[in-house]
């Protein structure tokens, strides 16, 4: 069974799942896990295909959340002693798009700065950027309300013919919006991975000197991947802000990046379906454990499950299910990709 067929079956199951769920809290948990899955999918483009570990990926998630929330609420921007610049509240869908764009621009800037120097500089810069973003959200009280949070964020809304602007407020409606956005994100990544850009990224991951020798522009492709990944993470953050309708600086916490990395690694980095499977497992497992065991055992079981998957399935769940070819054949395939990426 191919990865695409598994993805179609999984999408069909997720599409009918709410009809068998009567507990609204379960729908809330599934929707929240779905938002994290989209963020993990964006990280997989960098970690799984470009071979670049971003430990500050939550910064783009938080930027998308704050930008979309601020533009949908309206805000005042104070600059020195001059009169404040008043930005009126914009339609939610425009604020949502702006959240994606701002996150993508910051991703492009971080990529341009980091990939001029090789090695661990990208990892260090992303960690620092995430911490700086959190401090800005915490201390720029006149704009972000600091620790008091932004509240009363309007729900995501869409224009429907004959109905006008329809807000998405119910649990089931929000679930299907996240599912649709997840399918769109999966389709976009599928198109990128199987394009010239995707072949170039895989070639860089497998053998960068060889990729350079056949004319692949390393910095150009890595910066492009960072910008796309950041924009997608910003979209997940914007969806999160309009779903929970309250946002504070804790959205930049490092634990969210760790969770995304766990989802990618256990599901199978470098596979489109890996972050989805890993995200559903480790996004829903904490809530399942909360219902079954005492609090002191929850983290222990969570950690043991992760260790067992990494130990017995070192390449992840999805590659094990698909029975990917050996490393020798992978090396020959990457050699072909090196030459194809420049054609």
* Percentage of the residues of the chain whose pLDDT score is greater than 70: 92
Query: Band of the pLDDT at 80, cuts 50, 70, 90?
Result: low
Which pLDDT score is estimated for 332? 46
Mean pLDDT to the nearest integer, 115-130:
80
Q: Are 266 and 309 in contact (CB under 8 A)?
A: yes
Which pLDDT score is estimated for 206? 84
In this structure, what DSSP letter does residue 91 have?
Answer: P
Domain ranges of the chain: 3-342
Tens digits of per-residue pLDDT, 232-266? 999 999 999 999 999 999 999 988 888 899 999 99
What value does the CA radius of gyration of the chain take, rounded to a whole number of Å? 21
Q: Are 155 and 167 in contact (CB under 8 A)?
A: yes
Which pLDDT score is estimated for 331? 42
Mean pLDDT to the nearest integer, 44-63:
90
Sort residue 323 into left (φ over 0), alpha (ψ -120 to 50) or beta: left
Q: Enumerate the β-bridge partners of residue 159.
A: 165
Mean pLDDT to the nearest integer, 3-11:
85
User: Both tokens of residue 173?
Assistant: 């409606």
Mean pLDDT to the nearest integer, 215-236:
90
Most confident residue range from 1-10, 18-27, 57-66, 314-323: 57-66
Q: Average model confidence (pLDDT) for the chain?
A: 85
Given a cut of 50, whether residue 151 has pLDDT beyond it is: yes
Query: Band of the pLDDT at 60, cuts 50, 70, 90?
Result: very high
Tens digits of per-residue pLDDT, 169-188? 788 888 999 999 999 999 99
Tens digits of per-residue pLDDT, 85-118? 788 888 888 999 999 999 999 999 998 888 776 6
In this structure, what DSSP letter does residue 162 have?
Answer: T
Given a cut of 60, whether residue 133 has pLDDT beyond it is: yes
Q: Are 16 and 172 in contact (CB under 8 A)?
A: no
Which pLDDT score is estimated for 314? 85
Which pLDDT score is estimated for 326? 39
Which pLDDT score is estimated for 255? 87
Exposure b/e, 318-338, CB count within 10 A at least 16 = b = bbebbebeeeeeeeeebeebb
Q: How far apart are CA 303 and CA 81, in angstroms?
A: 52
Which pLDDT score is estimated for 342? 54
Most confident residue range from 14-28, 176-190, 276-290: 176-190
Q: How far apart are CA 159 and CA 15, in angstroms?
A: 22
Q: Which of 94-98, 107-111, 153-157, 159-163 has the lowest mean pLDDT?
A: 159-163
Which pLDDT score is estimated for 117? 67
Mean pLDDT to the nearest integer, 292-318:
84
Nearest CA among 7, 32, 27 for reference residue 17: 27
Higher pLDDT, residue 42 or 120: 42
Given a cut of 90, whether residue 44 has pLDDT beyond it is: yes
């Amino acid at each position: 069974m191919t990865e695409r067929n598994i993805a179609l079956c999984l999408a069909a199951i997720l599409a009918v799942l709410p009809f068998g769920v009567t507990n609204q809290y379960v729908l809330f948990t599934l929707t929240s896990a779905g938002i994290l899955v989209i963020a993990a999918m964006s990280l997989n483009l960098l970690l799984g295909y470009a071979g670049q570990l971003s430990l500050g990926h939550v910064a783009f998630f938080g930027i998308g959340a704050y930008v979309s929330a601020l533009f949908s609420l309206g805000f005042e921007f104070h600059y020195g002693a001059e009169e404040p610049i008043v930005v009126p509240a914009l339609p939610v869908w425009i604020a949502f798009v702006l959240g994606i764009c701002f996150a993508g621009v910051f991703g492009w800037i971080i990529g341009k700065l980091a990939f001029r120097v090789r090695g661990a500089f990208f990892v260090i810069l992303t960690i620092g950027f995430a911490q700086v973003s959190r401090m800005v959200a915490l201390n720029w009280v006149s704009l972000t309300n600091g620790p008091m949070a932004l509240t009363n964020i309007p729900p995501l809304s869409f224009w429907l013919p004959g109905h006008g602007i329809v807000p998405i407020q119910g649990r089931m409606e929000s679930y299907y919006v996240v599912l649709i956005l997840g399918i769109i994100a999966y389709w976009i990544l599928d198109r990128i991975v199987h394009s010239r850009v995707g072949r170039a990224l895989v070639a860089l991951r497998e053998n960068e000197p060889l990729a350079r020798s056949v004319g692949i522009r390393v910095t150009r492709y890595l910066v492009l991947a960072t910008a796309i990944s950041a924009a997608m993470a910003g979209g997940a953050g914007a969806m999160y802000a309009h779903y929970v309708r309250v946002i504070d600086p804790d959205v930049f916490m490092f634990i969210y990046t760790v969770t995304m990395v766990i989802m990618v690694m256990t599901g199978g980095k470098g596979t489109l379906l890996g972050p989805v499977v890993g995200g559903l497992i480790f996004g829903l497992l904490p809530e399942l454990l909360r219902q079954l065991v005492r609090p002191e055992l929850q983290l222990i079981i969570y950690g043991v499950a992760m260790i067992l998957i990494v130990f017995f399935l070192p390449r992840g769940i999805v590659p094990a299910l698909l029975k990917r070819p050996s490393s020798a054949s992978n090396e020959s395939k990457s050699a072909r990709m090196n030459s194809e990426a420049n054609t």
